[in-house]
Amino acid sequence: MNNNLLLEISEKFGTPTYVYSAEKIQDQYQKLYNSFQPLNVKLHYALKALNNSNILKLLKHEGAGLDAVSLEEIHLGLRAGFTPDKIMYTPNCVAFDEIKEAVKLGVFINLDNLTMLEKFGQEYGHSVGCCIRINPHIMAGGNANISVGHIDSKFGISIHQVRHIERIVDNYNMKVIGLHMHTGSDILDADVFLRGADLLYDIASLFPNLEFMDFGSGFKVPYKEGDMHTDMAKIGKKITESFVKFCQSYGRELELWFEPGKYIVSEAGKLLVKTNVVKQTTSTVFVGVNSGQNHLLRPVLYNAYHRIENISNLDGEQKLYSIVGNICESDTLGYDRFLSEVKEGDILSIANAGAYGFSMSNQYNARLRPAEVLIYQNKAHLIRKREELEDIFRNEVQLELFTKEVEIE
């Protein structure tokens, strides 16, 4: 993103503000899509990463579908113009009522536990197809919070319970149209992916009505300097080869589905914040900014590393700082970082803020959520207004109980 444009945006729309590049989102989508040619691949963007309807429309225009994890996300998708047949619903630990509601809306249903599978069978039998989320117990990456395929994970039905799945499916004559796995967010290596895929291929013959295989996400993007990212061309080629072989043995050409979130939007986003104070303590120099964990939760939640730059003074002398927010928590956004010398009022840009940035933001400390801006063809468009004070108490209910003067005897 062009630095002067970012500075202009910070002037015009204020800070803190999330800024997204439409071109980067389009590029990432196309790069992923093209990695699996000539397969019939469908990319369902995981909108929990970033759900502004303008971003959804942009991705719809590129040809994407959606992966939704709540009814509300399904509604956001429908509202942005997606037809139900482009939406996959992959909930976890929701009530059956919610699943019935989703069936009514006409979206694809992904079931992730045996109880729901059985209820689904009882309710719909063969009349509504479903997808089954399998947990292949592949450990992807090292962070247990974002690896969801391992043995202790709450996600999916264990691959060891396939016999049980089979009995339920047979008993209710269910139509299983897809098998799904999503092993986490840290897969670097085609071989890890393929080990999970092989397990799904192995059980596919139990389900003669399959229309697609959904391999979830796990595409990694670089956060730190020198970070590895998923080599899409290489992984795509290997997965494509293995999938073609699988389809031959299955006897039919299936669709290959993925649900990328981070890969599509992470690098496309920056959070612009303003320096309130430069505070020398006995141990370090803190740069205190007008944002914090309320706007970007990943550093405190996952110990995630987000690159930070002082875009008001790009060529200044490099100095060591800890960048912190203004929330009454130790909300460090970056420890011991070299930044070009920071003065109060300087604008810092925080990278990889497109995914799980705004969507995880909250009103802690009664602070307002940031604005969102989309850069399209070098022009900045406001796509979400900064919150206002009323947004903080909008849903509060005023009781009369405590408003009367209490008479003191």
Ligand X SMILES: *Cc1c(COP(=O)(O)O)cnc(C)c1O
Q: Which residues are identified as catalytic?
A: 328
Task: Supply the minimum distance, in Å, between the C-beta of residue 223 and ligand X.
Answer: 12
Residue number with CB closer to ligand X (348 or 355): 355
Helix (H, G, I), strand (E, B) or coil at 275: strand
Task: Supply the minimum distance, in Å, between the C-beta of residue 356 and ligand X.
Answer: 7
Q: Taking Cα atoms as reference points, which of 186, 90, 92 lies closest to residue 139?
A: 186
Binding track over 176-215 against ligand X, x by CB under 6 A: ------x--x------------------------------
d(CA 393, CA 352): 31
Task: Supply the minimum distance, in Å, between the C-beta of residue 183 and ligand X.
Answer: 10
**Single-letter amino acid code for the residue at 309:** E
Task: Supply the minimum distance, in Å, between the C-beta of residue 187 and ligand X.
Answer: 9
HEC string of 151-212 equals CCCCCCEEHHHHHHHHHHHHHCCCCEEEEECCCCCCECCHHHHHHHHHHHHHHHCCCCCCCE
Residue number with CB closer to ligand X (154 or 385): 154
Of residues 378-407, those binding ligand X (CB under 6 A)? none
Assess contact for 215 and 256: CB atoms under 8 A: yes
d(CA 239, CA 252): 17
Distances in Å between the Cα of 278 and the Cα atoms of 47, 344, 346 are 36, 6, 10
Under rule CB under 6 A, residue 69 binds ligand X? yes
Under rule CB under 6 A, residue 49 binds ligand X? yes
Contact region for ligand X (CB under 6 A) — 74-82, 227-235, 253-261, 385-393?
A: 253-261
Of residues 76-105, those binding ligand X (CB under 6 A)? 90
Under rule CB under 6 A, residue 298 binds ligand X? no
Q: Which residues bind ligand X (CB under 6 A)?
A: 46, 48-49, 67, 69, 90, 182, 185, 216-217, 219, 259-263, 355
